Amino acid sequence: MSMNESQQGYTTAKDVHWPSVWQLVLSSLACVVLFLFALSYILLAVWDVVTLGVSLRAVTSTILMASSLFFSALLVFPSAAYAFSRLTSRSIIFPGERFFQAIKPGFLMIMFPVFVILGNFITSFDQIAWFVLPPLHIVVIGTPIYWLISIAIRKLPQSSPQRQWGVFSSGLVLGPVLIMVFEIGALFLIVIGLMVIMVYQPDLSDYLISLADRIQRVPPTVENLTRILAPLLTRPSIIYVLLTFTAVIVPLIEEVFKPIGVWLLIGRKLNPMEGFIAGCLSGAAYALFENLSFSSNLDGWTTLVVVRIGTSIMHIATSGLMGWGLAVAWKEGRYLKLGLAYFIAVLFHGLWNGLTIMTAIAAITTLAQIEQSALIKIGFTAPFGLLLLVVITLLFLIRSNKVLRKNLSEQEALSTLND
């Protein structure tokens, strides 16, 4: 290309901001896929009601999932729009951002109990729950996460909207996809291992076949499944397998990919504060996706949305720690600190999952009125451990924010003196 052509406004390959190109392509693709999945869930609900005569209550969970996917698509859209704006040199401002800036997170959190009580009331009315609960479901799930992220990054300098939405979108979509792939792979290996064990333990094989046969013979209700599967949970070997997968393998995988938004900024020379902020945003997005998915059930909705608050704190705190560790490693070459951050994140995540599993096992075996071993009885004290972890991780977010703001003030003061 000649100099005259360049002066006439032609764009060369070197002029293209390729990270924005990839952000536009991937965000647009994610937005379309999420929207199509949401539409498929809606069509499934309509089919079940119109063709199969399924009750409105039975399809409410499907509609909740559809609304969650549609909301996720809306949250991914700004990432694509800002990338497009960067590539075309057109400035854009989303009305939704002004709306969020006008609403104080603290006020929303004060109103949170009202939202939960209202949602709990609506779940009793099958004729209106299917269309009133979905938007309220999004508000109830989103409010604690919005409040927590505001605590984590309060009064810290923010990066460009394009980067923030890009980091958030990657944590919302790319992180869960990668985690799902690796966890399914790990679960597949565990299943193969169990099959090998069953070859050498025919009694266990016969027992599992008997369980499968009993499950097929009864209606698939929660009560029937609990009654049939509860005896299996009294076996120490089964408990150890569950704990190994949920409290060891899952945290090892998730704490690598949850801060995916930070990994995508590997060449940007992030400082520790920027890494922490990006990690918290990525972790918050992952928590939002997980909570929207796991809480899309009309039965037990109130309990699920409240309990998931603790999980959100854990995800944001550990991802923020990992983001800080990645930035320190890249900028200062302190990979030992990254290793320590990863160890602490996995430890807290593993403790959370392990205590959650033990709580569930204790509750299921109690409901089934099965004699409990000393190992299972640990589950009755597990909720206190979960509460302690919630307090510790919340204090970590508050303390980290204060330390980062103090370091920022000291750096600004030193810069003023040098000037």
Residue 82 is predicted with a pLDDT of 93
What pLDDT sits at residue 103?
79
Q: Is 417 left (phi over 0), alpha (psi -120 to 50) or beta?
A: alpha
pLDDT of residue 212: 76
Return the pLDDT at 100.
Answer: 67
Q: Is 337 left (phi over 0), alpha (psi -120 to 50) or beta?
A: alpha
- CA of residue 129 relative to chain centroid, distance: 25
Output the pTM of the full model.
Answer: 0.91
Q: Report the pLDDT value the prediction gives residue 27, as an integer from 0 to 100.
A: 96
CB-based burial label for 221 (10 Å; 0-12, 13-18, 19+):
exposed
How many secondary structure helices (H) and strands (E) does the chain include? 18, 0
Within 10 angstroms of residue 193's Cβ, the number of other Cβ atoms is 11
For residue 146, the model assigns a pLDDT of 95
Q: Are 272 and 327 in contact (CB under 8 A)?
A: yes
The position carrying tokens 């990863």 is 342
- Give pLDDT, residue 346: 97
- Cα 223 to Cα 227, 301, 365: the distances in Å are 6, 17, 12
Left (φ > 0), alpha (ψ -120 to 50) or beta: where does 12 sit? beta
Report the C-alpha gap between 331 and 353 in whole angstroms.
32
pLDDT at 311: 95
Cα–Cα nearest to 323, from 271, 364, 268, 371: 271
Consecutive sets of 10 residues in the chain, 419 residues long: mean pLDDT of each? 42 72 95 97 94 90 95 95 91 69 85 95 90 94 95 91 95 96 93 79 74 74 72 81 93 97 90 95 96 88 93 96 96 94 97 93 79 78 94 96 89 67
Query: Which residues, other chains included, contact 140 with Cβ-Cβ below 8 Å and sequence gap of 6+?
Result: 112, 115, 116, 119, 305
Structure confidence at residue 222 (pLDDT): 64
Q: Can you give the pLDDT at residue 156?
A: 93
Q: How far apart are alpha carbons 52 and 220 in whole angstroms?
A: 18
Query: CA nearest 315: which of 353, 290, 292, 284?
Result: 284
- DSSP codes, 148-167: HHHHHTTTPPP--HHHHHHH
